[in-house]
A and B are shown apart, each in its own frame.
Chain A
């Protein structure tokens, strides 16, 4: 056992008060009506919350922060759905993850060139990152949630929520 490096186990009572339990936030997703909603739960049991913005034309959420484009511009928001401010232009750079559709397959490319592929049924109308390892794939009449697991792409259906 390593000596000279000690976790303050004796102070756990205080630590627990500083920590705690809460609902898991899977991400933020734009629905077909242009509402940006938080998505709670775990993969396979997701629930859409109340919208934090409407009139959203495109959105991205990394798991820590996000961008939402509306007719009035591009806006940054935090993990609590709070508005951080208007963004003049998105920063250019290498995305951490990238999911695309190629010839009936969804292809996830990781930094370093690693790829994950999985066939997808139906026409893909659009793809947005909605969480740290989570994407939504817009299709006619439904939205798929696609999770980038360690060695595979996992699929489930994103729950709709109508006002």
Chain B
């Protein structure tokens, strides 16, 4: 007898009359679903979720064990764990998703413990593409710098100007630096210490950018000088500013030997000639000296030519000063040296020859 009673108690929920009621939750309030329910309109490609609730309205616990959904465009978005023993008055929630593939009317059968309701929905035209979310605001970076060299066509032995400019005024104040790198394009030592910013004496100079200005300032100036050096090659400028590192490559071309100065001096045994200058091509090959007496006539033996190529090659291999040089040549004189009044020097490289004016022998 006792065994039968226990079995009856255990089977009671199954035997209890069906008291599971279906509700839809609208803004948190239960609305009974009877027969059919219009879930609404969803855009094609989009979806619409509807929350349902199954409540046990009986006086005793009951099993919620059957839940099915059949129909194109409808699916469960949130499912309860089934079967579930639902206490009297308690409820179980689930969610149905309506996702139409295109325009038109849709329907589905929703069955709760065998009780079936019809869900209805409509598909409309798809929503237009959602514009991308605006980028979150962030602190503005300084603008991309642009390096401007003046003049654009450089030459050796020159102090030119360089500026850092922007396409539009900077929104923020910032500071950066301008760097120079030199790569020789001719034989000899690969560097030229004459390539530098005179303001710092090195190849690095700091600059500042004020908010609202479209240029960088070097110690308050809108530009700064740089030396091109005396060796043919490439000068690579790099402007570093915030996240930017912009470069500009400028060329120092090869050219004739440039004579910057020349002078003469008498010595006890003769005459000394000193010529200073630079040879960007580092190809100096020949030096020629012609002496004149006080009347302007050429002194024998005439033009004295000296092959200087080896001496210059060795010099350019070791000097740190690029391609500047001071050439000294001593000439013994047989006879009255005081009768020599002038001298002209010609220095030649692979590109041509350069002549001094006639130097007076003091």
Contacts and interface: CB of A to CB of B under 8 A. Distances in A.
Interface of A: 1-9, 11-12, 15-16, 18-25, 40-48, 141-142, 156-162
B335 A142 contact: no
B306 interface: yes
Contacts of A8: 270, 331-334
Most buried by B among A2, A40, A48, A158: A2
Contacts of A42: 157, 230, 258, 260-261, 276-278, 324
A160 B218 CA distance: 15
Given A40-B324, A45-B227, A5 B260 contact: no
Interface in B272-317: 272, 276-278, 291, 293, 295, 297-302, 304, 306, 308, 311-312, 315
B332 to A, nearest CB: 4
Contacts, number: 153
B332 A11 contact: yes
A2 B201 contact: no
A21 B329 contact: no
B322 interface: yes
B100 interface: no
Contact of A47 (B196, B277, B298): B196
A47 B326 contact: no
Contact of A21 (B299, B327, B335): B327
A156 B158 CA distance: 9
Nearest to B335: A5
B225 A157 contact: yes
Contacts of B319: 23
Given A15-B329, A41-B324, A156 B159 contact: yes
B326 A25 contact: yes
B244 interface: no
Contact of B260 (A7, A12, A18, A43): A43
Contacts of B225: 156-157
A11 B229 CA distance: 36
B318 to A, nearest CB: 10
A45 B197 CA distance: 10
Contacts of A46: 194, 198, 227
B334 A12 contact: no
B26 to A, nearest CB: 78
25 contacts: A1-B298, A5-B293, A5-B300, A5-B339, A9-B304, A11-B332, A20-B311, A20-B327, A21-B308, A21-B325, A21-B326, A24-B326, A25-B326, A40-B324, A41-B322, A44-B158, A45-B230, A45-B278, A46-B194, A47-B196, A48-B201, A157-B159, A158-B198, A159-B201, A160-B198
A41 B336 CA distance: 35
Contacts of B304: 7, 9, 12
A155 B86 CA distance: 100
Contacts of A43: 157, 260
A41 B329 CA distance: 19
B59 interface: no
A24 B328 CA distance: 10
B193 interface: yes
B299 A1 contact: yes
B300 A2 contact: yes
B299 A5 contact: yes
